[in-house]
Amino acid sequence: MKKIFLHPVLLFAFAVYGLLFVADNPSEAAGKAKKGTLKVTAVDSKGAQINAPITVKKGKKAVEQGSGSLTVDLSSGMYIITFGDLAGYSIKDPKAGAKNARVNPGKTTTVKAAYTAIAPLFKDNGDGTVSDTANNLMWEQGEKSGIYKGYEASGDYNKTHNSGSVSVCGSLSLAGYSDWRLPTMDELKTLIDTGRSTSPYIDTTFFPDAQPSYYWTSTIGGFTLDYSTIYWVLINFADGVVYNTDGSFYNYVRCVRDGQ
């Protein structure tokens, strides 16, 4: 068998190249920083998840955002997790609305924020509106003369279901205000009165004509892959339960605005 000899200079070059290859290859580089998992959740006093805004920061830079819960793989190190305001709730822990958390290589770090529900404090303004001074909201008191499709309630254009771009709350002028809008799911949930023994599950002292039926919210519950159909979240005041359905159905609308 014929022997092959390599010049010492070539041997040295191959050795250096091998070291450089290992250093440039993340899967083989020694000492490469590994990632860990950060799991963040916002819950109410009963331990149920709520849709509070969550932001994960590395220093002053936001690296991840979400609502309700967030699970993400991050490089090891210290992070700041901030929790935002949510209608109908106040944050109990952390009191400052932020926590520091260390992500360790190959491990899961769990961070949880606890919120407390704020009971609404209603005031009849005598002008067709009701103020919730606890949550800084003003509600349309009476019921509208009709029911509306989800696209009309939200003001979203749809060639089939809202070709005229009707916006039920956006076009409302009431008590001298014109900044009315469709409430979010969390805002409308503050009107659910679970202490009642009969429907509708809402304080009928302040909303005497409320219907034991479905009311639209502005919260999106889903959509088809081609975005041709949007599903909105509704609240049924016949049972106080949250549902979602597509915007082609007709349901009730109660408008809201910020302020008192």
Burial of 137 (0-12, 13-18, 19+ CB in 10 A): buried
Q: Name residue 173's beta-bridge partners.
A: none
Residues 6+ apart with CB under 8 A from 127: 174, 175, 176
Domains, in order of start, for the chain: 35-117 (2.60.40.10), 122-258 (3.10.100.10)
Write down the pLDDT at residue 214.
98
Geometric angle at alpha carbon 128, from 122 and 130, rounded to 5°: 15
Write down the pLDDT at residue 29.
44
Tell how strand 108-117 and strand 35-43 pair up: parallel
DSSP state of 49: B
> What is the number of H-type helices and E-type strands within the chain?
3, 17
Reported as a single tens digit per residue, the pLDDT across 96-153 is 899 999 999 999 999 999 999 898 999 999 999 999 999 999 999 999 989 999 999 9
Write down the pLDDT at residue 227.
74
Instruction: Tell me the pLDDT of the chain (260 aa) as tens digits.
Output: 444 444 554 444 444 444 444 445 555 443 445 899 999 999 999 899 999 999 999 999 999 999 999 999 999 999 999 999 998 899 999 988 999 999 999 999 999 999 998 989 999 999 999 999 999 999 999 999 899 999 999 999 989 999 999 999 999 999 999 999 999 999 999 999 988 889 999 999 999 999 999 999 999 988 888 877 889 999 999 999 999 999 999 999 999 999 98
Nearest CA-CA partner of 151 in 182, 180, 119: 182
Write down the pLDDT at residue 224.
84
Q: How far apart are CA 179 and CA 191, in angstroms?
A: 20
Report cis status (omega within 30 of 0) of the bond before 208: no
Write down the pLDDT at residue 27.
52
